[in-house]
Chain A
Amino acid sequence: MSLGLVILIPLLGACLTAWQREGTSRNLALMAALPAVLSLVLLLAWLPEVLAGVTQVQRLAWIPSLGLELSFRLDGLSWLFAMLIIGIGCLIVWYARYYFAGKPGAGRFFTLMLLFMAAMLGIVLSENLLFMLVFWELTSLVSFLLIGFNTDSQGARRGARMSLVITGGGGLMLLAGLVLLGQAVGSYQLTDVLAAGPMLRAHDHYGLILGLVLLGAFTKSAQFPFHLWLPHAMSAPTPVSAYLHSATMVKAGLFLMARLHPALADTELWFSLVTVTGMLTLMVGAFVAMFMHDMKGLLAYSTVSHLGLITLLLGLGTPMAMAAALFHLVCHALFKAPLFMMAGYVDQATGTRDMRKINGMWRFMPVLMGLSAIPAAAMAGLPLMSGYLSKKMLFSESLQLATPDWAVAVIPVWVTLAGLFSVAYSIRIFHNVYFNGKPIDLPIWPPREPRYAALAPIALLAMLSLVIGLMPAEAYRWLVHPAVLAARQTLLPQYEFDQLGAALPMAMSLVAMAGGLLFYAIRKPLFRLHARLPEVDAKEIFDWIMRWVIELSQRRVYQLENGSLQRYLMFLLVTAVILVGLELIRLPDWRGPLPLTAIDPLTAVAAAVLCLSAIGVALFHHYRLPALLLLGVTGLFVTLTFARFSAPDLALTQLSVEVMAVVIMMLALSFLPQQSPKESSGARFGRDLVIAGLVGAGIATLSFAILTRPYESIATFFLANSLPGGGGTNVVNVILVDFRGFDTLGEITVLGIAAVAVYAFTRDLHLKERVAGSSAGHWVAEPHPIMLSMVARLVLPIALLVSAYIFLRGHNMPGGGFIAGLITAVALTLQYMSGGLVWAQERMLTHFRPLIGGGVLIATATGLGSWLFGRPFLTSAFGHFDWPLVGEFELATAMLFDLGVYTTVVGATLLILANLGKLMTVSGPGKEVG
């Protein structure tokens, strides 16, 4: 049976309740109880193995190639926690069924609760630490939604936010800690981590790992000073408080400390960090709880105090401290959940949670009083109750300490004092609510006792507290002992409950009880005294810190991301210069071993012109038209460069593209200001010059270093296989349409997308309100020169013939689909320019978008065609045919592919040009261009 099911079933249940969220709370509770009970039964089925001390690890391959797997672990410790999570969960479902009766939001509650249950189960059942962390964060997220359940209450929203900030922040610390831990161990599997204890404790990063992991645990388990979120989470509906703060959320941190005990504990650092934090939390929680007037506030701070107590025990390190810690953890879950439920019922019946108003409830709710007496007594640690034993275990363990000296002296006194407070607040919540005179100004009158069925969860939990109190040894053996063994990973004897009868623990217990009674008896003057104490509102401090953090990060973000493109580019370029520069400087020699080739005068002159024209563009960029013309010169000389260095295909492509690009930019320029304002300051100017110079120098050095070094090229393969494999002698074209045909297919698709994007943009672009400073009106008014239009019409058939020739010979000589397409496009563009858009558009036989689509389709279909012959996508075939009069003629499927390229290029280029041209006409060409 898979352990994953235990987690999966509540998750599926959450889907069910989410789907049926409009149902009544009774139906929804049934729906939620079903998966919970099912999981519980599954878990119970493992009891024999757990009692036998077997650790089960189940692995499910997830992405084996990455070493990722879903792995689950079930041993005594995880079983105990899982039982608490599901068991208390079932009773909470029962409770919530009555709590939400007739209220909205039941569906949301049950969904979130099941989700939360699944996440908690994930934490305790995970074998992989990172996997556990995912569930850990999930509990933070779901608890955020649960605490902020009443979305229209500001307090709930703030409480939820605070809990998310604190526990989420702790989760990040934990992530860092666990990653360090995993790196140190070399594995994220718990089995390996737990076995690596001695190595970890001696590790250099031990302190860091421990600190980070503990921060994660402390924030989750509301340890001082991170306890803040817990009392503020009390704005949540009571079932949420009862669930999150008795058995689940806050216990996750304790679980982590117990789980990683063999790996990280039993060092001085662990002792001081964990024990001292536990002591502080224990005392702060107990003290504040004493003076709380809000029922749930008192319970919240008492929870903080009890969590501190368990943390303290986890820190002690005496052999049986773990036993005491886990025993108390169970007891606490069993008495705190019913007390929260009781508080919820009293709140519902009276309309308030203020204990200064709620008095003398015994008259109205006798049964509830009788039932809640037991958990209250257990919390106080009165004899016969579970809490009595766990508290005496604490006292007894505190006396077992041998080192350090301060702890031997302080801790026993400290825990006795805290025990005294806990007696006092436990008496307070019981006596104050049910006796203590008459009720004062209750919003709901008269208070009515809830139905008996609604009280059943409280009764059941109270009974369990009593049973544990009466039969501690049995409860310990069945529930806690396997967990203690699993947590310590050593063999330990059973806990001797008889030793608790010894004189000292007994005395401490008596002192606590008597002191607590006394404390409660003189509470009135104490309350007055407390009211006079200066009030430290921790929430204010928290809010102040949050505001400070937000302001700081906002300032930082605005500094980095202020919306200025120039600044972003500056960052980008400077980073590139630094990264590449560092590598270049490390290069022993910029000049490689290859000999330099000789410079001929013509090339030198061309290079000079190229440089001068580029510098001219930069110099005269304020005057846009001259700059654009110079840019055209640059493009032409780039073309010549390609021609000079044996790349005829590139030269042809660049030439035709250059013409089109300049035409497009001229079109655009007619709508834009003709001059750029001179607005850069001297400093900005200098800065940009330096950056540009550095990038240029870097590129020059880099390319020089490349050009003078020999290299291994895969070109030999292409050169050797071009003719036999691809049937063409022009290797560049064969690469484009055959060897790397798939790349080309992608590229013409991009071309098509860009063209369609231009079409989409210009479609709704109305340039009627022209940009200030443009001279478009003047240009449009010019008639089309008669000479140009006459020549253009003559040129068209010749140009088309040339492009057909270029296309056909492309496989063997410079040319091909790209170049032919561009030549056709240039020829047609000339018609647009000479005859005008309307004139040319009327004579176009087709729209351009179908051309693009058709071209991509032809290319794809050619590729798919090879499947018909059982070959891979885009395999080409060719043959030589004899054509009368013409002679031998080669036909290749690659040519069909090239036809697709040709069509796409023509369509895309003309779509772009015609649409930009459309903007020139005042009212548009009458019909859509494209």
Chain B
Amino acid sequence: MELLYALTLGVLTSCGIYLLLRARTFTVILGLTLLSHAVNLYLFASGRLATSAPAIVGFADHSADPLPQALVLTAIVIGFAMTAFVVVLALKAAVELRNDHVDGENPDEDRP
């Protein structure tokens, strides 16, 4: 299971990084979202994988590590807020600069 988890994480990260390196804002946002999934799963994994053992007192005789879960929970919510912020940033850039390239100018246009 650990190997499967690690491989899945690797695939998620790779896809996220690849998209992050593209030149259009929307694609970069897609990449960021994938990457934040990967980061959350990675942090979550630092508590190791537990099956049928939620961190609820008295639910089972052993219990998953609650600390990474608590950290990841807030990370998910803040990640959402950040996504929303980047989305608005991308919209604003697209409107004001009239293109959606990450550098604010299309590469075929003249560069100083």
Contacts and interface: CB of A to CB of B under 8 A. Distances in A.
A610 B10 CA distance: 12
Contact of B56 (A599, A642, A814): A814
Contact of A664 (B63, B72, B87): B87
Contact of A657 (B25, B77, B85): B77
Interface stretch (A44-52, A74-82, A146-154, A746-754): A746-754
Given A569-B20, A614-B12, A695-B17, A761 B89 contact: yes
Contacts of A766: 95
A718 interface: yes
B9 A703 contact: yes
A635 to B, nearest CB: 7
Most buried by A among B17, B66, B76: B66
B9 to A, nearest CB: 5
B41 A638 contact: yes
A706 B5 CA distance: 12
Contact of B1 (A596, A744, A762): A596
Given A563-B103, A704-B6, A731-B56, A621 B98 contact: no
A599 B4 contact: yes
A692 B18 CA distance: 5
B65 A713 contact: yes
A660 B77 CA distance: 11
A700 interface: yes
Nearest to B12: A614
Contact of B22 (A673, A676, A812, A813): A676
A719 B57 contact: yes
B91 A650 contact: no
A624 interface: yes
B54 A610 contact: no
Contacts of A596: 1-3
A224 B3 CA distance: 69
Contacts of A691: 17, 21
A654 B88 contact: no
B44 to A, nearest CB: 7
B55 A731 contact: yes
A570 B17 CA distance: 10
Nearest to A622: B27
Interface string A707-730: 110010111001100110000011
B86 to A, nearest CB: 10
Contact of A650 (B21, B52, B65, B76): B76
A421 to B, nearest CB: 54
Interface string B89-112: 111101100111011000100000
A252 interface: no
Contact of B55 (A654, A664, A719, A750): A719
Nearest to A693: B14
Most buried by A among B16, B69, B77, B79: B77
Interface stretch (A460-468, A481-489, A735-743): A735-743
A814 B6 CA distance: 26
A566 interface: yes
Contact of B23 (A603, A611, A660, A680): A680
A100 interface: no
Given A719-B63, A732-B66, A732-B70, A696 B13 contact: yes
Given A599-B1, A611-B11, A715 B67 contact: yes
A703 B46 CA distance: 8
Interface in A646-665: 646-650, 653-654, 657, 660-661, 664-665
B84 A700 contact: no
Contact of B103 (A565, A644, A653, A729): A565
A569 B46 CA distance: 26
Given A650-B72, A700-B7, A635 B19 contact: no
A634 B24 contact: no
Interface string A752-790: 001101100110011101011000000000000000000
Most buried by B among A596, A700, A729, A769: A700
A813 B88 CA distance: 36
A750 B22 contact: no
Nearest to B6: A704
Interface in B19-41: 19-30, 33-34, 37-38, 40-41
Nearest to A677: B24
B84 A664 contact: yes
Nearest to B29: A665
Interface residues of A, number: 114
A611 B6 CA distance: 11
A818 interface: yes
A695 B35 CA distance: 11
A852 to B, nearest CB: 11
Nearest to B57: A729
Contacts of A417: none
Contacts of A628: 30
B30 to A, nearest CB: 6
A679 B108 CA distance: 10
A627 B30 contact: yes
Contacts of A743: 74
Nearest to B70: A735
A919 B91 contact: yes
Contacts of B78: 747, 750-751, 754
Given A615-B15, A676-B24, A597 B70 contact: no
Contacts of A830: none
A657 B19 CA distance: 21
Interface string A484-515: 00000000000000000000000000000000
Given A668-B90, A688-B18, A564 B103 contact: yes
B73 A916 contact: no
Contact of B4 (A607, A631, A696): A607
A908 B83 CA distance: 13
A647 B64 contact: yes
Given A696-B17, A723-B57, A631 B84 contact: no
B23 A679 contact: yes
Contacts of B99: 771
A580 interface: no
B94 A761 contact: no
A736 B55 CA distance: 13
Nearest to A564: B103
A573 B13 CA distance: 12
Contacts of A713: 47, 65, 67
A886 interface: no
Given A692-B15, A765-B95, A731 B20 contact: no
A922 interface: no
B103 A569 contact: no
A322 interface: no
A468 B58 CA distance: 96
A818 B77 contact: yes
Contacts of A697: 10, 14
A383 B59 CA distance: 105
Given A594-B2, A624-B26, A701-B6, 19 more contacts: A569-B21, A597-B51, A614-B34, A617-B30, A631-B33, A650-B44, A653-B76, A661-B33, A691-B21, A703-B6, A706-B45, A706-B46, A707-B2, A715-B55, A736-B73, A751-B77, A754-B81, A818-B74, A916-B84
Interface of A: 563-566, 569-570, 573, 594, 596-599, 603-604, 607, 610-611, 614-615, 617-618, 621, 624, 627-628, 631, 634-635, 638, 641-642, 644-650, 653-654, 657, 660-661, 664-665, 667-669, 671-673, 676-677, 679-680, 688-689, 691-693, 695-697, 699-701, 703-704, 706-708, 711, 713-715, 718-719, 722-723, 729-732, 735-736, 740, 743-744, 747, 750-751, 754-755, 757-758, 761-762, 765-767, 769, 771-772, 812-814, 818, 822, 905, 908-909, 912, 916, 919
10 contacts: A597-B2, A607-B8, A650-B69, A668-B88, A692-B14, A713-B65, A722-B66, A729-B57, A731-B57, A735-B67
* Shortest 10 CB-CB contacts between residues of A and residues of B: A700-B10, A696-B14, A754-B81, A704-B6, A692-B18, A731-B66, A735-B70, A729-B57, A692-B17, A696-B10
